[in-house]
Structure 1
Amino acid sequence: MQISLTDLVNLTSKLRVLYAEDDLILRENTVSLLHDLFSEIDEASDGAEALKIYKEHPYGYDILITDLNMPHMNGMDLIKHVQSINPKQPIIVVSAHNETEYFLESIRNNVSGYILKPIDFDQLIETLYKVASLVKERLEKASLQATLEQKLEEQSEQLAQNSQIVHDFLTIDTVTKLQNATMLYNFLDNFPQNHQLTIMLYNIDNFSFINQTYGAEFADEALFKVGEYLQYNLSKEVHLYRYNSDEFVIIFDPQIINPEFVAIQIQAFFRETPIGEYEEKPIYITLSCGIATANAPSSLLPNARIALREARMRGVPNQYNIYNTQDVFLKRAKIETSWIQKFRLALEEDRVVPYFQPIVDNQSLSVVKYECLARIEDDGEIISPAHFLEAARRSGLMSNLTRIMINKSFKIFAGQNVAFSLNITNEDLLNQTFIDFLETKQKLHRIDPALVTFEILEDIIISDINRGPLQNLHVLKKMGYLLALDDFGSDRSNFNRLENVGVDFLKIDGQFIKGIDTNLRNQDIVESIASMAKKIGMQVIAEYVSNEAEFETVKKLGIDYSQGYFFNAPLQLPMKDA
């Protein structure tokens, strides 16, 4: 077939070529010819130089043309290296040898074309046309494949969106945006037997009056507000559902949360908080509650319904009643009251001491900082926060605990180039005197703020931007302190909020790290968190790393730092003299 230059140029005008030839005169003459055919020609004087150029632009050349006999690296070795990078790279060999062995080796290395020296113009045109046609065919196939994949991806996204819409319709209540009764039943059906569980069944007192007096639209808004306010008053360990028309269900583990404390807290909140206004007048509601605790999930709702009925029979709104009252709640309340007293006494007698757990760089295994953790000394026994932290919260003494930890930790690390982190709470950030206290202690102990990281929980991040806690976080950042978000993944925050606040570190919630070496779902979650965090410049810390298998897994998933008993338990450091 006679090939015209016009036909060839139509194929080659947009292609890029890498040409390797040690003969300067031949290379210049050939390049001069090739410049009329190709959009760009890169030259190399030997195989080693050609490989270096190729590595700088992998997948950047449409055709590689190479001589066989060259210094430093011959053509066949160059071809093998290139094909290890891109096995589909089109290659033309130029050789002065017309021997069977060279042809066979070229075939074995999947060479696309073979040109003999001295170069015959017609053979060159024919070979270039054949290889350029191959390139065109591959590009067209790749373009078609990309188009098909894009269409498949678009269809998959649409299916996912439709699936999510259907899922939300079946599982989310349209008025309150809470999980609905279907999800409640599903939770109870799948909850393990012989594991204690508490249900609180709430009913809005005289809701029919609200509906009839203020209208259906106001009533729906009231239901939404009740759901929103219940969420506001509940911790992350609690499940909340809209059950029936004006009923809500709360589920939790009574070993973690005291049901009576929850009931009292919610009663007090709705007593003081209107759910809306009607004709510029605040509208208040009350809720009655039935509480049931059992090991058999199937008995919980019926028992809670009985308890609710008994509460409403008292004829007084805003009441709660416990089904089959046992002394377990009273015992728990007494225990918590006892711990509140113990904690107050520990503060008064200065028995709160900081312990320090190292945070380790996953690559170098060096300690990069220490987390300061509160402990109580009691007759030689060291008591962990699991016993007294809730007592500190309920007694309103969390800020006292924070200030003691800051003062003692600053004193220990005074004047040292040691990085450390401290936990602070919403209550601390709500109090303007906290910033003043921090400035005073920073100056007194000569602490560089860049060495101090304050660890916060997600409830601060998801608060309204105009609220005090978020404003004071920005103040801390301006002072030079770093921020870490603790227990990431356990609540509802998002990366946009984190970036706006200026969070420097994410500490992945321990529930995702425990057993991560065998839990593929948690591996996917952790890897996604790490990837997204790095894209916005945040470093990631894995907490509760307890063994080598977990450490190797989080390291493989791209986590920057680790903390846990695999490296060291929290240690006590000597306090400096005043």
Structure 2
Amino acid sequence: MNTNELNNLILNAPYQTKYEAILDVTSKDIVAYEALAKFGINQNIISTEKIFQYLHHNNELFYSLEQRNKAHQLEHAPQSYPVFVNFDADIVVSDEQKNHWEMFLKEHQKSIVVEITENGSDDEKSANIMRNFSSWLKQREIKTALDDFAQDGSMFSFFIMNNSSYIKIDKSFLRQIERNENYFYYLEGVIKTIQANGQKSIVEGVETKEDYETVKKLGSNYMQGYYFSDLTKTV
């Protein structure tokens, strides 16, 4: 498959959004939803993960695709709930991109939380792009969440963490606690620090009743995961 064929495949793929519930740990009430991209592409041809890996090397296509995707995510989002939307800093670099997203985010400012996602690179240039994006959002009073905290290979940044209203704890933390229960105390300390800073913690990857009981003991504010899949909506 050549580059043009792949570009056309991605741009014309049927697109859906999955809205995964974020719940209060104590009450189990829904407090928000996270919008997740779903592409209707034959997995034998290209996976969603491979799509985004490819797009990191094609900024123009990535930006075009995300204009469509973000509009869809906000248009169909469950009403009366904040929506956590993943944004890659690489598509907010040029003046054209910044102007577009500033207008888009201003329109949805009251209902959107921007999740700052890793762009797959740990070099200094990429780190600067993410820091600049974090500052750009803060200047415009857009609420943000630091995504994938503690995920293998992720970049830890106090700068971005301090700018964020929410810290999303990667699901790998719960899996690590299953293998070594001493990591419970480590995560408990992280969550206490987050809350002491006036921020909210969200533990991802709650897949079983045992996970839920662990999260309750940890004292996290919020949680999400497949254990609550009956609350997921797809549009």
TM-score between the two structures when normalised by the length of structure 1: 0.35
Which residue does the alignment assign to 1:407?
71
CA distance in 2, matches of 1:346, 1:356: 24
Q: 2:49 aligns with which of 386, 389, 392?
A: 386
CA distance in 1, matches of 2:116, 2:205: 17
CA distance in 2, matches of 1:512, 1:342: 39
Kept in 1: contact 2:131–2:160 (CA 8 A)? no
Kept in 1: contact 2:177–2:184 (CA 8 A)? yes
Which residue does the alignment assign to 2:233?
571
CA distance in 1, matches of 2:76, 2:137: 21
Which residue does the alignment assign to 1:431?
94
Corresponding letter in the other structure for 1:361: D
| Shift of residue 484, structure 1, vs aligned partner | 0.8
Question: What does 1:241-390 correspond to in 2, within 5 Å?
Answer: 344-349=7-12, 351-378=14-41, 385-390=48-53
Which residue does the alignment assign to 2:164?
503
Q: Secondary structure at the match of 2:226?
A: coil
Which residue does the alignment assign to 2:218?
557
CA distance in 2, matches of 1:562, 1:504: 15
CA distance in 1, matches of 2:105, 2:157: 31
Cα separation, partners in 2 of 1:458 and 1:374, compared to 1, 3 Å:
closer
Cα separation, partners in 2 of 1:529 and 1:458, compared to 1, 3 Å:
farther
Kept in 2: contact 1:462–1:493 (CA 8 A)? no
Kept in 2: contact 1:426–1:469 (CA 8 A)? yes
| Shift of residue 452, structure 1, vs aligned partner | 0.8
Kept in 1: contact 2:122–2:155 (CA 8 A)? no
Q: Secondary structure at the match of 2:228?
A: coil
CA distance in 1, matches of 2:123, 2:199: 18
- CA displacement 1:505-540 (0-9 Å, x = unmatched): 111122112263563133123112111111211111
| Shift of residue 394, structure 1, vs aligned partner | 3.7
Percent identical residues? 22
Kept in 1: contact 2:17–2:73 (CA 8 A)? yes
Corresponding letter in the other structure for 2:19: F
| Shift of residue 387, structure 1, vs aligned partner | 4.4
Which residue does the alignment assign to 2:146?
485
Q: Secondary structure at the match of 2:198?
A: coil
Kept in 1: contact 2:117–2:148 (CA 8 A)? yes
Counting matched residue pairs gives 227
Q: 1:514 aligns with which of 175, 188, 192?
A: 175
Which residue does the alignment assign to 1:531?
192
Q: 1:453 aligns with which of 109, 113, 119?
A: 113
Kept in 1: contact 2:19–2:33 (CA 8 A)? yes
Gaps of 5+ in 1: 1-336, 574-578
Kept in 2: contact 1:422–1:455 (CA 8 A)? yes
CA distance in 2, matches of 1:342, 1:454: 31
Kept in 2: contact 1:420–1:453 (CA 8 A)? yes
Kept in 1: contact 2:114–2:143 (CA 8 A)? yes
Question: What does 1:95-106 correspond to in 2, within 5 Å?
Answer: none
Corresponding letter in the other structure for 1:456: I
Cα separation, partners in 2 of 1:377 and 1:512, compared to 1, 3 Å:
same
Q: Secondary structure at the match of 1:364?
A: coil
| Shift of residue 434, structure 1, vs aligned partner | 2.7
- CA displacement 1:5-29 (0-9 Å, x = unmatched): xxxxxxxxxxxxxxxxxxxxxxxxx
Q: Secondary structure at the match of 1:516?
A: helix
CA distance in 2, matches of 1:485, 1:461: 16
Kept in 2: contact 1:361–1:562 (CA 8 A)? yes
Kept in 2: contact 1:359–1:563 (CA 8 A)? yes
Kept in 1: contact 2:161–2:167 (CA 8 A)? no
Corresponding letter in the other structure for 2:233: L
| Shift of residue 455, structure 1, vs aligned partner | 0.9
Which residue does the alignment assign to 1:106?
none
- CA displacement 1:455-513 (0-9 Å, x = unmatched): 1136799968x9454334323223332111111123342445522xx111111122112
CA distance in 2, matches of 1:399, 1:524: 41
CA distance in 2, matches of 1:527, 1:462: 30
Kept in 1: contact 2:10–2:51 (CA 8 A)? no
Which residue does the alignment assign to 1:134?
none
| Shift of residue 375, structure 1, vs aligned partner | 1.1
Corresponding letter in the other structure for 2:71: N
Cα separation, partners in 2 of 1:353 and 1:537, compared to 1, 3 Å:
same
Cα separation, partners in 2 of 1:442 and 1:535, compared to 1, 3 Å:
closer
| Shift of residue 401, structure 1, vs aligned partner | 3.4
Kept in 2: contact 1:346–1:376 (CA 8 A)? no
CA distance in 1, matches of 2:187, 2:96: 37
Q: Per chain length, whose mean CA-contact separation is higher, i.e. which structure has more relative contact order (CA < 8 Å, sep 6+)?
A: 2
| Shift of residue 342, structure 1, vs aligned partner | 6.6
Q: Secondary structure at the match of 2:186?
A: helix
CA distance in 2, matches of 1:483, 1:543: 16
CA distance in 2, matches of 1:551, 1:357: 16
Cα separation, partners in 2 of 1:561 and 1:352, compared to 1, 3 Å:
same
CA distance in 2, matches of 1:458, 1:441: 21
| Shift of residue 427, structure 1, vs aligned partner | 0.7
Q: Secondary structure at the match of 2:205?
A: coil
Kept in 2: contact 1:517–1:550 (CA 8 A)? no
Q: Secondary structure at the match of 2:177?
A: coil
| Shift of residue 411, structure 1, vs aligned partner | 1.8
Kept in 2: contact 1:454–1:484 (CA 8 A)? yes
